[in-house]
């Protein structure tokens, strides 16, 4: 499971930038978005990346065959689903996937699914707005790794990780110069903040006094 994903990559330069800064996963968007890429663009991007970085295709209500072709042709490792897909439909793809869930909406139907993780966001991708982080904990009972997304940036991600204790975080517009292009300074600051926050989280969880406080 990755700890940090940068979504909305649209060019080789930004993909390599993400890789060089230590990002573990990138997202390539194949549905309607200012950050949408074609299969040709995606193939070029993934061909320049190390096998060690996770390449994720983002879809919304796609046709199964479309997903399978793109995954194969673009050499993707995971898909991320953000539409009205059911757990049965997603499991039937036969491809590892993450399911996007809008904070506050029920995700009970995904409890027994094959989803690798649930990504919790504000349901308004690319807007840079956060949701009420208190809602994040509601999804713990489903027993799935949880990815925090929606409105994260270098200024708030440390607090977000401390508050939500996610398994991973996902950023898009929060590290951009403009839609579809990443800002090297913002991205480096974000990566540094994420590493610091997860280290602090680990130290807290290893602290016996904290363990006694939470039972």
- Catalytic, 130? Answer no
Residue 113's contacts (CB-CB under 8 Å, 6 or more residues apart) are 87, 90, 91, 99
**From 7, 54, 74, 164, active-site residue:** 7
Active-site residue, from 14, 54, 121, 164 = 121
Residues 133 and 111: their CA atoms lie apart, in Å, by 21
Q: How far is the CA of 57 from the CAs of 9, 71, 85, 99, in angstroms? A: 10, 7, 15, 12
193-to-43, 54, 157, 160 alpha-carbon distances in Å? 30, 21, 7, 11
Tokens linked to 137? 């904990």
CB contact at 8 A, 15 and 185: no
Instruction: Examine the residue annotation and report whether 121 is marked as an active-site residue of this protein.
Output: yes
Entry field: residues in the chain:
215
Q: Which sequence positions are flagged as catalytic?
A: 7, 121
């Amino acid at each position: 499971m990755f700890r940090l994903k940068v979504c909305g990559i649209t060019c080789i330069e930004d993909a390599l930038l993400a890789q060089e800064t230590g990002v573990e996963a990138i997202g390539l968007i194949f549905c309607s978005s200012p950050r949408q890429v074609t299969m040709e663009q995606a193939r070029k991007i993934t061909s320049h990346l190390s096998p060690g970085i996770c390449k994720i295709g983002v879809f919304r209500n796609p046709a199964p065959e479309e997903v399978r072709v793109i995954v194969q042709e673009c050499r993707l490792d995971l898909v991320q689903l953000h539409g009205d897909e059911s757990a049965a439909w997603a499991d039937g793809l036969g491809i590892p996937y993450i399911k996007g869930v809008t904070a506050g909406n029920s995700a009970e139907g995904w409890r027994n699914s094959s989803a690798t993780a649930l990504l919790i966001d504000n349901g308004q991708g690319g807007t840079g707005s956060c949701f009420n982080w208190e809602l994040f904990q509601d999804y713990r009972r489903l027993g799935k790794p949880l990815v925090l997304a929606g409105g994260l940036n270098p200024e708030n991600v440390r607090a977000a990780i401390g508050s939500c204790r996610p398994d991973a975080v996902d950023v898009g517009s929060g590290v951009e110069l403009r839609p579809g292009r990443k800002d090297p300074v913002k991205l480096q600051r974000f990566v540094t903040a994420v590493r610091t926050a997860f280290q602090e989280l680990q130290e807290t969880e290893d602290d016996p006094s904290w363990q006694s406080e939470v039972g």
